Structure 1
Amino acid sequence: MSSIVAVVRYQSPLESVRQAVDRCRGLAQVKPGMRVFIKPNIVFWTKAVAFPKWGVITTSRVVEDMVILLKEKGVDDITIGEGMVTHNPKDVETPAHAFETLGYHTLKRRYGVKTINIFQRPFETVDLGDGIALNFNTDILHSDLVVDLPAMKAHNQTVVSLGIKNLKGTIDIPSRKRCHNPDPVKNLDFMVARLADRLPPVFTLIDGIYTLERGPGPDGSMRRSDILVASTDILSADMVGAKLLGHEPDQVPHLAMAAANRGRPTDLSDVEVVGEQIERLASSHRFDFPYASDETGELPLALAKQGIQGVFYRKYDDTMCTYCSQLNGLTLTAIRFAWKGQAWDRLEVLTGKRMEPTPGMQKTILLGKCMYQKHKHNPEINEMIAVKGCPPRPSDIVKALHRAGIEADPGLFDNIDQLPGFFMARYQNRPEFEEGFFRVESD
């Protein structure tokens, strides 16, 4: 029997979401008294600037519309839960600020929903098979229905981030780090492919009002796309979402693995798409940041074109966890601004959990606890500069860069929460990028 996926153009509040839900019969099995867990995507937040949310974060408009539709079905036990990434893993003020700013507390007062930061709630270990066990938030595990509301984005480690990938925000920090492991088989894609396997029934509504190229963060390229994708089958929704982002499902490793685990094809031959045609709405969203490499250095292409030489900053891989990923872009930005036209002396930066040092480098920065533990006794390293923290402290990164001869501006790291404002400037005075989508009007 074919899975139904609805593809709808977003045109108006509530009615567009209602159309997407109705066309795939998404809430047909919902009854009064059910416990529903809503999982939006709030990958990152800062209190310091007006954060560029478009394509990075699920719109509050879609969250409220789903709450309204559930209330119409007589559902009173609704929980909105997320486990967002913060620079300090123990920070509870930033998630609370995000919930308030995005209007979730207004939804709480208006509709009686509950809002939770999952890091303040218990976790339970779930066996996902093949020797994999991860710790999931207990609230989502004991719900009757999960309403999964991912933002539609390309992702620099997993090609796309849609319904299945969004569920990574319901596991604890040790489990997230476990997903970014150096095993060539049981890698990040292997883990992500299983995230939905032991959960209650999941209804997925992919929020593509805004989409993101080269996500998951604000340094990607944001677009107004006005697309909604809905299905009671999370894999079918994700495969359609991938095609809308310009990627064939069999070229998205975690989707190909999820399909193989379920004995399903990736060509949509067992999926019935209703509503808009995929081909009419699909557009290419690149997921990768290109790098350049020669005898003078290895850097992101944009930095190489700037003429920077003598730095070998190897391309990130899937073993770099989210916490180091946040600092990775900032470190590259610091190198970019520290360049004065004189080549550095064969400096290498290693990240993640898999990289090996290159013989002949004068200095090697080991960025993060994982790299330090792997190479602290490596005889191939001429001069080791270790940043040991997990996650690394920004001040320690500055010290490491200075010791390596890169006069990085400490102010960039002191004001790390201001960095999204740098990317925000690209969208100023563009009317299609509306802040109103991320607010809930107060009573």
Structure 2
Amino acid sequence: MTNTDSNKRDPFEAVRISEFRSLVTVRFLFIMGLRMMSTLVGWWIYELTNAPFAIGLIGLSEVIPAISMALYAGHIIDLSEKKKLMRTGLSLYLLAALVLVLLSSRFTDTRLSHHWIALSIYLIIFCTGIIRSFTGPVFNVILAQVVPKSKLQNATTWNQGAWLTASVSGHAIGGFLIAGLGNTGTLVTIACLMTAALLFSSRLKQHPPLNERGEKKTWESVKEGIDFVFKTKEVLGALSLDLFAVLFGGAVAMVPVYARDILNVGPRGFGFLNGASDIGAICIVVLLALFPLRQKQGRKLLFAVAGFGLCIITFALSTTFWLSFAALMLSGILDGISMVVRGTIMQLKTPDNMRGRVLSVNSMFVNSSNELGQFESGVAAKLMGVVPSVVFGGCMTLGVVLVTWFKAPSLRKMEY
């Protein structure tokens, strides 16, 4: 394809594919339901226990099985018919929502103590963590089978935009629904979203496995996926950037402290700061769908992550609300660029018959970086103080970019 042809590329080329629209709709409904559920469960557990630590155990109870099962899940995804596996995951999430509806009912509240209800919630979330290890990667595996390779960059951008929009709106709407409908009404809404996702998923075609069952033993198959990631410098570099940038540079965990104790802006200011990076990310992802990056994407990825680190340092040192908000919003814009480029690299560099295993390794990096990043922020803040810990995180992000620049030249030079 010539540069002229590339410049004339239709920004809606992936959206014009009917099956891609159905897939994105399913993912949008699913992610919105998940985010509503996480918002609701956090609120509900705090109501039951009055213990902030109990909220932290929710994430731990989900991320442990999600990470533990990820490699095996990738092996199963590569050996399975993708539509059936996706629908099984959606059905199990719907079942989990219905069980939570029962737990939230007045009938259960009069028969079980708050302690046993909380333990039951943790058990259900643990089960959803197992389901998540299979369901999360399968969406991206199907994406590569639905969309021609020439349109993967465009499809990945729209897919990331839908994910971000569903995530942000799910959190926000979840809070309003809890206030208006209560726990049970919110869970019924979540069940309706999962049901709608199941109905839309019936429009997808079957996507049979590209590997034959029994071709390799389970561990050999899993090891092949891990080996591919570590031998493919572009993929390893992109995953490492995501892992360490979020692990060290994520300032989200400290936003409540900044809002209340440093910027003195209260709950309303906290709401703006909490949504700033998401707003920036959504705006840039939509913009990139209309005006995609044309060249030197690997170099731009590294610059974006370095800029993200600088934004975190700026936020850490700021004592002015508008500057803090701008720094977080710009960090979201740069993270959105990074997200799109990383996602496209993963799709373009991964062989079709290994997508389940490679994308499951990716899910391990993503899941661990978010959860461990929150833990790291808390530990660093306790050891260094809040402001020095956030500055340290931004500096570490810059250090990771510097190491990647020299250690992964193929990522730096990559174009697609």
TM over 0.5, shorter chain: no
Structure in which a larger fraction of residues adopt helix? 2
Structure in which a larger fraction of residues adopt strand? 1
Name which structure has the greater RCO, CA cutoff 8 Å, separation 6+. 2
Which TM-score band applies after superposition, normalised by the shorter structure?
Answer: under 0.3
Q: Please give the TM-score of this superposition, normalised by the length of structure 1.
A: 0.21
Q: Please give the TM-score of this superposition, normalised by the length of structure 2.
A: 0.22
